Amino acid sequence: MTDAASSLAPALKTLIIRLHFYIGLLVGPFILFAALTGTLYALTPALEHAVYHEALTATNAPGAERATLAEQISAAQTYRGDDAAPSAVRPAPELGATTRIMFADPALDAGEHRAIFIDPTTLEVHGDLTVYGTSGVLPLRRIIDQTHRQLLQGNIGRLYSELAASWLWLAALGGLAIWAFSASPRVDPTKHTRSARRLRTRRHHSTLGLILLIGLLALSATGMTWSQYAGANFFAVLKAGGWGTPRVSLALDGPQVHDPHADHKAAGPTQNGVDSAAFDRVLAAARGAGLDAGKIELIAPAPGQAWKVREVDRSWPSQVDEVAIDPASFALLDRVRFSDYPLPAKLTRWGIDGHMGILFGLPNQLLLAALGIGIVVMVCWGYAMWWRRRPAVSNGQTLWHALLRVPPMGLAITATIALGLGFIMPVMGVSLALFLVIDGVRTIAAARRSVAA
């Protein structure tokens, strides 16, 4: 082994230990909060069914026939007191479930709709709630989701979750490296000194980290796909490689032909020009095109565009096919099947749905809750170790001291990797620069205190 190689290994080990310490000390609170809110988010599907049971559950009358979508829309319009057409409709996915008639509302945020929950057999209104996104998140889960993602502070708040996701994977791999290249401490179980307690906590911390390692990496990766900056870079790469999620084209080619029989099948034109009876015809056309999922959404067309019908069942196996339907002839214009997605797009879909606890239902949610609780325990153990040791800056245990011990070639490689990661994950890059500034100030202050002494 050369002198450079022999000096590089301990220097890198010291650097990894110091960086792992800084991640835990400075990013730990953000990771802790994300884990707490993520655990709560994972458990909300069961809470939603309890809290919104009346809105989600329809009368299960034996032998009762389901009303047409036009009749259900009319019931929702009567409840609203106007004839505005819905922007989207989700037919009852199964017996005993309600239909969601969703209306656009300028008072709501992007992605939100006012949903009227209609009993498809009795046409009674069972609920009036705000829903969000493709997964149809209800208000309780929406609040928890916003807290988890952006602290209810919009795009500025999203920086906190991106900071946590950007550093979580590096903290996990750093902990793995420290465990692999450090001797396991032997602790006399009869000793109760501060040092003995710290070593026992360290062992528990590293053992739990090894158990949760795969989950930590998966949470970090899938969390970053939603992030503001790293996520944008990720999807830019997918798009450049032709691996993005395909979507149906809603463009209409050629002149539109009016259906002469539409008026005979209509429940009357709506305020924005979309015929409520068209929803039934579009649903029939989509079913005929092969969309057989119970959970399906019909999206009314904008002027000059086609209807969009998509499956919204993200459980396993995923049913997220979608079609475009001509608003005049109700002919199939375009279709995208999940089976035709490129593999990176499929992995992205599964990763996000797994992160949300949707992919495998209850087992997925319980696993996420266990992982979140495990992260909380690990962070608390990490702070306990720090509190019992509290290393002094004067001992040379700083990030700058560790960097200066790395040989020039190793330092150049480390800097290149750091710059590359900072470019891909800007929040990580900026926070790393802050780490170095804080560490530099501490180092200079300690040196001045030493000289003064």
Quickly list DSSP for 27-91: IHHHHHHHHHHHHHHHTHHHHHHHHTHHHHB----TTPPPPPHHHHHHHHHHHHTS-PPPSEEE-
Taking 50 as the threshold, does the pLDDT of residue 263 lie above it? Answer: no
Paired residues of 319 in beta bridges:
313
Instruction: Work out the average pLDDT over 195-213.
Output: 90
Nearest Cα residue to 411 out of 426, 422, 400: 400
DSSP state of 357: T
Query: Of 159-163, 403-407, 443-447, which one has max mean pLDDT?
Result: 159-163
Q: pLDDT (tens digit, 9 = 90+) per residue, 316-338?
A: 999 999 999 999 999 999 999 99
Chain-wide mean pLDDT for the chain?
88
Q: What is the predicted pLDDT for the residue at 296?
A: 96
**Cis peptide upstream of residue 391 (ω within 30 degrees of 0):** no
pLDDT above 70 covers a percentage of the chain that reads 89
Distance from C-alpha of 191 to C-alpha of 113, rounded to nearest angstrom: 61
Question: What confidence score (pLDDT) does residue 228 get?
Answer: 92
Q: What is the pLDDT of residues 134-170, one digit of tens each?
A: 888 999 999 999 999 999 898 899 999 999 999 999 9
> Given pLDDT bands bounded at 50, 70 and 90, which one contains residue 206?
very high
- The more confident residue out of 28 and 401 is 28
User: For residues 249 and 332, is the Cβ–Cβ distance under 8 A?
Assistant: no
Res. 181: pLDDT tops 90: no
Q: What local confidence, expressed as pLDDT, does residue 265 receive?
A: 39
* CB neighbour list of residue 86: distance below 8 Å, 6 or more residues apart: 73, 76, 101, 102, 103, 279, 300
Q: Give the per-residue pLDDT at 190.
A: 65
- pTM for the predicted model, two decimal places: 0.88
Q: What are phi and psi of 324, to 5 degrees?
A: -115, 130
Split at pLDDT 50, 70, 90, the class of 188 is: low
Residue 242: how many other CB atoms lie within 10 Å: 10
pLDDT of 353 over the 50 cut: yes
The pLDDT, as a whole number, for residue 200 is 87
Mean pLDDT of 296-307: 94
- The residue that leads in pLDDT, 366 or 136, is 366
- Residue 92 reports pLDDT greater than 90: yes
pLDDT at 187: 63
Report domain extents, the chain. 3-43+149-238+358-452, 44-148, 254-356
Judge contact between 429 and 229, C-beta under 8 A: no
pLDDT at position 267 is: 36
Q: Give bridge partners of residue 103 from the DSSP assignment.
A: 114
Can you give the pLDDT at residue 398? 80
pLDDT at res. 6:
58
Q: Which residue has the higher pLDDT, 442 or 356?
A: 356
Range with the poorest average pLDDT among 34-43, 148-157, 246-255: 246-255
For 337-378, strand residue ranges (E) read none
Confidence at residue 118, expressed as pLDDT on a 0 to 100 scale: 97
pLDDT band for 396, please (50, 70, 90 cuts): low
Q: Mean pLDDT throughout 401-423? A: 90
List alpha helices for 92-229, DSSP H.
139-150, 154-180, 194-225
Q: Is the confidence at residue 393, as pLDDT, over 60?
A: no
- Dihedral, CA atoms, 400, 401, 403, 407, nearest 10 degrees? 150
Four-way CATH pick for 254-356: 3.30.160, 3.30.43, 2.40.50, 3.10.450: 3.10.450
> Which residues is 275 bridged to in the sheet?
269
Helix (H) or strand (E) holding 185: none
